[in-house]
Structure 1
Amino acid sequence: MKRLIILAFTLGFAVTGAAYAKDTGTTRVAVDLMATPYRDAKPAGKLPSNTKVDILERHGGWMRISAQGKSGWARLHQVRAGESPEAKNTGGGLTALKNVSQTGRSGSQGIVATTGIRGLSAEELKSAKPNPKAVESMEASRTNDTTSRDFARSVGLQEKDVPFLSKE
């Protein structure tokens, strides 16, 4: 019984230690750090690509990171969580256990960067199904070229030719 209690405490400390271990990552690109997790926030510094960072916090599509004496918020897709691709360690053992407990994923990264789907939960995305009636409803709202031009003229808009951009 005493051995069982010691084993339980040992495993408990190991899992707790893994859960509170500092996450690290690497910048995928040069990053403009922001003071708060918003696009229009004040700049807080810059980090070059492939910089090893400490991940301090996550908030929506943002991560608060720290490196080279600088700290600030970066977009989720700008930081590769976990070790850099050059590292040989695949993150087994307690790291994998930590990832499963935090994200429900067993991979060494544990994070998937997804943008552009604000307001949808993971469960809603998993259970999404096509809705032909909604598509039909949208098609019914479609207008034609003549109706669009007539409306534009009625509100004072004028047609203007715009040249194509060069392919440089």
Structure 2
Amino acid sequence: MGIIIGVIVILLPIILIAAGYYKDYKRNPAYFKSGIKVILILMGLFVISSLAYKIMDNTGSLRKPGPEYNSWRAEKGIPLIEGGWGKRVLREDSHIKYFAPEGEEGVGHYAKEIILTGFGEEREVDYFGRDSLGNEYRSIYTYDEDRLEFIIGDSVYSREVFYKVVNRTESR
């Protein structure tokens, strides 16, 4: 995909310049030269922004998608990626899901989604099951706000209340 975009980025300006040369250069050479400058400036901005995106995506200091960052998660109080969990990349490294082994889904902490952006993670969502009314138990850690919320259904609860409810539900 990246190669196709690269070829288009290179060929499109060449085609535009050739068409411009054919039509405009004969009529007004000064206007044509200013148009080339604009095209070159836009191409330069595109290349610089693409490189900046790649650099930030590969070296972003917030990038903590795997279980190797569980000690960092423990310090923040974020639920950990459990041992033996599977991993599924849902959208080209921008959405990663870790999940419990088959047979353990929906019991206790059974899944974690990490939603990424080009500048590090946006958030981590952990799933803990549902109650008999269908209310989903989950926690959401938002990276840019450094905020951890514990949610049952549509309501936000403290960590203590959340885990009391989750543990009571699991014991049934």
Same fold (TM over 0.5): no
TM-score grouping bracket, smaller chain normalisation: under 0.3
Bigger relative contact order, structure 1 or 2, given CA contacts below 8 A and separation 6+?
1
User: Structure 1 or 2: larger helix share?
Assistant: 2
